[in-house]
A and B are shown apart, each in its own frame.
Chain A
Amino acid sequence: MIKSIQELSKRQAKAQKEYYCDKVRISVGAGTCGLANGAGEVLETISDEVDKQGLDFLVRQTGCVGFCEGEPIVDVMIPGLPRVFYRDISPRKARELVQAIAQRDFRSEWALARLDKDNLLVELERDVSGKLNGLAKVPALHELPFYKQQAKIALRNCGFIDPHNIEEYLASGGYSALAKVLSSMEAEEIIDSVENAGLRGRGGGGFLTARKWRSCRKADGYPKYVLCNGDEGDPGAFMDRSIMEGNPHSVLEGMTIGAYAIGADRGYIYVRLEYPLAVENLRIAIRQAKEYGLLGENILGTDFSFDVKISRGAGAFVCGESTALMASLEGLSGEPRAKHIHTAEKGLFKKPTNLNNVETWANVPVIINKGWQWYSKIGSDNNKGTKVFSVVGKVKNTGLVEVPMGISLRQIIYDICGGVPDKRQFKGVQTGGPSGGCLPEKLLDLPVDFDGLTEAGSMMGSGGMIVMDDRSCVVEIARYFTEFLTKESCGKCTACREGVREMLELLDKITIGQGSTEDIELLEELCCYVRDNSICGLGKSAPNPTLSTLKYFRDEYEAHVVEHKCPAGVCRELTKFEIEAETCIACGRCIKACPVEAITGEKKVAHEIIQEKCIKCGACRDTCPVDAVVTL
C-alpha cells in the first residue's frame, strides 16, 4: 500500500533500481500476435535454458513492440550495455541465444536493432552509448526505416515492460501523473491542460476530450461514470489491444486522472470478447493497482476513491458505439439511442457519463507528466499529438506504427512500412475500417489526421490501415465491408437494416457478374439515403467504403458491369486462370499448391489448368515463381 506521494517516489526509485539491476534481463514479446507466432514456446525454452545453465538471468515477458513482421521478438538487456532486440527467434535460436549471451556473444546477425535510450514513460539516463562492444553493426532502433519517423507516446512501455508486474510500470515513472494531479492540480486545471494539449478522441470520433470532460463535470447527478471503450471492432485494427495487453496501467492511470477531474468515483473498461489476453492483463493490473493503493479507496492516501470494473463484449461491433456500449453495460442488447440526449448528462444508467477510447486514456498521463506545452508541439494544427496505426495488408512491414499526426500516407506506407512487396503495384489504402474509405495513389500525400482524410471521403477512424495492391479488387472490398456491416447492424432502424442489406444485394450481383449500370445508380442512391437517415454512426458511415471506391475506382466497377471482368482477378465468376505456355518452366509448384488437383503437367511439359475443376482460388498464381499464371 502506497500511502503518500512521497512514498510513491521512493517506490519508483526502488523499482527503477530493480529494473536496471545488475542482472541480464531477457524478455519475449508475448502479445497475442507474438503468442500466435510461437512466443510461448520461445519463453519456455529461454527459461528452461537459463535454468539448465544455472544462469542468474531475469526472464520476462512484455507486450508488443509493434514490429509484427519479425515476431517472435526477444530483447536482451545486459547491465551497462545497449539493449538489443532480436527478430524471428524460434525456440531453437532462443536456446542458442541464451548460450551466446552467457558468453557475451551478441549474435548480432539475428539482431533487429539496438537501443541506447529506453522508450519508457519517463526518460531515464542509462549511460550506455559509446559502449557498442561488437554491436556497432547493429543499427540503432531509431535508424530503422520502420521506427525512424515514429514517436511512441501512447505505446510507450509496450514491448519494454512486463505488463504483469506493476513494479515495472512504476520503474518507468508510472503513476507520477496521478500523484501530480492529486497533490497539486485542481479539476479545472487538469481539464485546461488536456484542452491546451489539444487531445482529441482516438477512437475515431476526434472530439475534443477536454470538452467532453467539462460537460460531464458540469452535469448534475450522482454517481458519475468514467468509461473506457476497448471494443476495437474494426477488422484489421489492433492498436487498443496492444495498449491493453502491453501497458494496461497507462489506461488505468489515465482513467483515474479523468475521474478525478470529472468528479466520478467509478468506471468500467469495456473490452471486446475476442481479446482475452487484454482482459487478463487488465484484471491483473487492476488487482495490483488496488494492492498498491493506486486504485480503489483512498488513492495514495488522499480522500479520492475510484474503482474500475471490466466488462466484456459478446460479439457485436455496434457496441463500439457509445450509446450501444452503455446499453450493453446495462444488461441490454446493443441498440444505439438518439444522440440528442447527451451522454455526458444522461448516459450509463441515465447518469452523467464520460466515455473515451483506450488510446485517448493512454495519452493522458503523458500530457500531465510532460506538460501540455510539450505535447502540443507534436502533430499538426488542430490535430495534436500522435496516432497509432495498425498497418496491414500488402506491405513489407506490417505492424503497429505510432506517428505524429499530419504525416502523409506515403510516408507511412512507403518510408515506414517499406511499400508493396513482391514487386506488385500499389492500388489503394483503406483507412478507418468499415466506416472509412479507400484512397488511391494520387492522394498518398494527404496528411493523416482527423481532418485531412475526411474531405477526401475517408477518415482516419480508429487507425486501421489496409494496403492493397493490383491483385485486390476494390469492388470486392466494398462488398466485404458492406457484408460485415449487414451482419453487425443492430436492426433497429429501417435505413440501416434494410438499406445496407439492399446495398449488399447489389454489390453481390455486381461481383458475380450480374450487375448493370442501373444497379450502380441505385447503389449510389441507397448509399446517400443510408448515410443521411440512419440513427447511429454504424449506419451513417456504412456507405463510406462503397462511395469512396465508386469515386476513385469507378472504372473497376464499370469493368464488372459492362465487360463483366474483374481486373484484379479476384471475383471468381469474372475471372479465368490460365497458364502461359511460353512462360511456364514446368516446375510443378502450382500442381502441388492446387487444392483440387486441377492442374496437369509433367516435368518439362508446360502445365495446364483444367477449367472445369478450377475453383479460382489463385493459389497457383501465388506460388508461380515466373508469373506464368495470368487472369483473363
Chain B
Amino acid sequence: MFNYTFQWKQAMARLPQMLDGAIVTMQVAILSMVIGVLLAILLTMFRLSGSRILSAIAKTWVEVARNTPALFQIYMAHFGLGSFGLHLSPFMSLLLGITFNNAGYLAENFRGALKAIPDTQTRAARSLGFGATDAFRYVVLPQMLRIAFLPMTNQMVWAILMTSLGVTVGMNTDLFGVTQDLNALTFRTFELFAIAAVIFYVITKIVTLGARLLAIRLFRY
C-alpha cells in the first residue's frame, strides 16, 4: 500500500527553481529543433543529389538516429566523444544528442512529404525557367515544409521530453536535472516529480496548440 504523506507546500517552495529549469529545457529543445530542421533539409538534399557518397551519408545518419535509443545517442555524445579526448559540456552533449536524433527523424519526415508533392510541380517550375536549385528552393521546399509541419510539431514535443535524458550526462540545469537534484536533497520524490510532470505537460500542450494556431494562419488559402 502507498504509505506516504504528501507535503505540497515544501515542494511548491521549489517551483521557481523548477521553472528556471523549464526555461533551459525550452532553450535546448528550440535550439535542437532549429539546427535539426536545417540539418534535415541538408540530408534531404543529399538524398536527392544523386551522389552515392552523399546519399550514403544521409542514409546512415537516418538509420542510426532512428534505430538507436536517444539515451544512447546522448551518452555517446558525452562519454563516446570523451574517450577520444573531445570534451563537451553536459549542455552541449545533450544538445548534440537531441539534434542528431531530430535531424534523423525530420529527414525521414521530409522524404515522406516530398513523395506527396507531384513531380509535375518541379517540371512546371523548370518549364517556367527556374533552375534545378531554384525550383527546389522556391517551389518544392515550401510545400514540403507545409506538409511536414505537423510531424515537425511532434518532433518538437519529443525534443522537449528528450531533454530529461540529460541527467545521465551530468546536466543539472534543465527541468528534469533540477528536479532530480531537489529530489536527492529532500527525498520529496513524488511531489517534485508530479510538479515536473505538470510543467512538462503544460509546455508541450502550449507548443502543440501554438503550432496549430500558427498552421491555421500560415496555411490558409
Q: Do A and B bind each other?
A: no
Binding site for B on A (CB under 8 A): none
